[in-house]
Chain A
């Protein structure tokens, strides 16, 4: 899952330019995502250009924003998507459709107000529903992996509502990685 281990430097730059984090979803959601213009992005004009050329996408800013997917939050015991999250997922699906080299993992989480075993299933259901929604919006199912952590990886020990969530982590497909080298 942690792409950072194996990334070469130029590929890392591409990932950062895209606003993607190959590593833990936590870093993606708790740290401000680097933008192409702001430091400390270790990008070079050449990799940015190469990336734009490969994806045929001229507006890196827009892609970065769309893929900077904050977690989707749920209410207690529920796996129903809120209306505003549906809108957000539509933007994400659009960005993903435009970047076929990007793959993602949706990880489902719960708060601690439940039992270990049911929470694993509930976390899976939350992630599964997010995945289904993206698939209905035209993202190929094989690009989206799902994993549940139940209540084992809380985002914030003190705030239960922050823990009922589905998080996104993005990575480049094997093909895209080869292309970037």
Chain B
């Protein structure tokens, strides 16, 4: 670096420091989705053209479902569709006229087996390019390019990792079969894990392993499918019914429910089932649905010890049990936010309608997330805690949706019109 460049970079230092602060403060009281225009990709060459539609679907879904943007309808755009990607060639007043505060333009090209994309983010008010990113992926995994681009843009605006590169698991119901599937966060690239029979309550571990409950030996037992493809049965006590495996955040321990006699209790063990330890002990009650706190020190769960199923928290050794929910008589499926502050849960009301809520772990403050949209169940937080994946019957059958952690921007995952999908879990 020569002296002039050093001088210039010192001059720019305060600006660079400022740029580290998030453009969009998601947690802030003044949060509002940023009005953003994203143009169709500028496609270079015939090969890239073949992937363009798929890439654009994934890219636009990511931006829309992220909850941080108000993505403007392309049909309303006034700018010349052939407008280029350089700031000098863009007529920013046209973008201001349609209400855009940010403008995203991107291009696609294919070189050999590699799909390459470049995106630029412009501030419509200042007419300046704020951010630029280049991403690539094998052409056979074209959607990955979109998710990587959208992730870079999300990080630019929030200084946080996006959920766009994460994976989900869920149960797909077909006739009498319940099968475990894994998919990208948008439900695409779905892979079937089990083949027929009753397989329930899947849970993703931090290493990509999926744990689930299966009746493949006649009675429900716990299984773990490792990323390499091998499946192991977790040994639990003979004659007891083990269900609902849940991995600790570091992946080293599991929590699950064990039913015997007239009661169901929560147990923890090492990831392979060794050293099992019983955490709850209510002689006749039901204790189930364990969910780990992000530091692995506490577990949220459901217990009917007070007469109806309610959400409780306890320390990971079973001590310090505290009831968290008090409204209604059916509060279920707690999921502890990776940010630590909230637990999302399913509540059934007196009309037998199911809706989603969060409860603040420290204050006990309850916030409603869904209302009057048929049944909404089984919340699962995104790895960054900003979004919640859940099931809803608002379109008929049980489908997967995402929304923000405060219940806004409820969006169906694409391409699931004829499926019945249940009990999703979002990989952390």
Contacts and interface: CB of A to CB of B under 8 A. Distances in A.
Interface stretch (B65-73, B125-133, B260-268): B260-268
Contact of B218 (A1, A79, A115, A148): A1
Interface of B: 171, 176, 178, 198, 200-201, 213, 218-220, 241, 243-244, 257, 259-264, 286, 288-289, 302, 308-309, 329-330, 332-333, 346, 348, 352, 377-378, 422-423
A23 interface: no
A115 B286 contact: no
Contacts of B261: 128, 132
Contact of A125 (B243, B263, B329, B346): B263
B262 A129 contact: yes
A120 B220 contact: yes
Contact of B332 (A79, A118, A129, A149): A118
Contacts of A114: 330, 332, 348
Interface in A103-128: 113-118, 120-122, 124-125, 128
Contact of B200 (A79, A116, A122, A132): A116
Nearest to A152: B198
Contact of B241 (A77, A116, A124, A132): A124
Contacts of A115: 289, 332-333, 346, 377-378
A54 to B, nearest CB: 28
A77 to B, nearest CB: 7
Most chain A beta carbons < 10 A, residue from B201, B241, B244, B377: B241
Contact of A148 (B241, B302, B348, B422): B241
Nearest to A130: B262
A6 to B, nearest CB: 15
A147 interface: yes
A86 to B, nearest CB: 16
**Secondary structure of the B contact surface, majority rule:** strand
Contact of A120 (B243, B309, B332, B422): B243
Nearest to A132: B262
Contacts of B264: 121, 124-125
A118 B259 contact: no
B220 A148 contact: yes
Contacts of B332: 114-115, 117-118
A113 B393 CA distance: 13
Contacts of A153: 176
Contacts of A147: 218-220, 241
Question: Which 4 A-B pairs have CB atoms at the shortest separation, nearest pair first?
Answer: A121-B264, A124-B259, A128-B262, A115-B332
Interface string A1-21: 100000000000000000000
A118 B286 contact: yes
A147 B259 CA distance: 10
B357 to A, nearest CB: 14
Contacts of A121: 243, 257, 259, 264, 286, 288
A118 B352 contact: no
Contacts of A124: 241, 259, 264
Given A1-B218, A129-B262, A122 B377 contact: no
Contacts of B423: 116-117
Contact of A116 (B201, B259, B262, B263): B201
Contact of B259 (A77, A113, A128, A132): A128
B201 A117 contact: yes
A148 B218 CA distance: 11
A146 B244 CA distance: 18
Contacts of B244: 117, 120
30 contacts: A1-B218, A77-B329, A77-B330, A79-B262, A113-B348, A115-B289, A115-B333, A116-B171, A116-B200, A116-B422, A117-B244, A117-B289, A117-B332, A118-B302, A118-B332, A120-B220, A120-B241, A120-B257, A122-B286, A125-B259, A125-B264, A125-B286, A132-B262, A146-B241, A147-B219, A148-B241, A150-B200, A152-B198, A152-B200, A153-B176
